[in-house]
Copies of this chain bind each other. A is one copy, B any other.
């Protein structure tokens, strides 16, 4: 498969899934239809925008290719209309979100590597792509980003990105490296989700 096409498909599916989750947050905050679209767009596109600005891939793909804009708009409208049904699928949403996370960390890392970043910063950019949209969404609704205190979320994304970009740097075919990174992130995230794994917290009293 052509790497560029692979990146496009990964990106669009990930954006749609993340935008659904973002739209649901907006509905629960009683935002209006514009707020639903903005939170869907921010969650779906925010991580990629942040990555593209940092690696100087501007204007971001979403401002050049209409499909990148259409994906979160459609997802937002779907959420606006069908949120009761979506809300009942909360558990499934967590799974979809894990798919988005795995897709984004791989797509983000490979794009950063493609723009000349070394393996370590490229892996970091993959993680940023995967968690940036959700962090921006949480900030917009006045919450401390869940990824900073909640279950294991960013670490699987970093691991998946590292596997993908490490394989790519080592000469493994792009598709194989992408699938391996995707699988590592997805499996780890799903295990964390169902087994309630958490990252370690500081020990001892937080001296104030």
Contact = CB atoms under 8 A, between A and B. Distances in A.
Contacts of A16: none
A56 B66 CA distance: 18
Contacts of A88: 207
Interface stretch (A2-10, A22-30, A177-185): A22-30
Contacts of A120: 66, 69
Q: How many A residues touch the partner, as a band?
A: 35 or more
A171 interface: no
Given A54-B63, A141-B144, A142-B143, A30 B206 contact: yes
A39 interface: yes
A34 B155 contact: yes
A147 interface: yes
A125 B63 contact: yes
A121 B56 contact: no
Interface in A79-111: 80, 83-84, 87-88
A187 interface: no
Given A139-B139, A141-B144, A200 B69 contact: no
A176 interface: no
Interface in A114-133: 115, 117-118, 120-121, 124-125
Given A34-B148, A149-B35, A58 B55 contact: yes
Contacts of A204: 83-84
A69 B117 CA distance: 13
Given A58-B53, A59-B117, A148 B200 contact: no
Given A30-B202, A32-B199, A53-B53, 9 more contacts: A32-B148, A34-B199, A36-B202, A53-B54, A59-B115, A63-B125, A64-B121, A87-B208, A141-B144
10 contacts: A30-B149, A31-B201, A35-B147, A53-B53, A54-B59, A54-B63, A55-B58, A56-B59, A59-B117, A63-B121
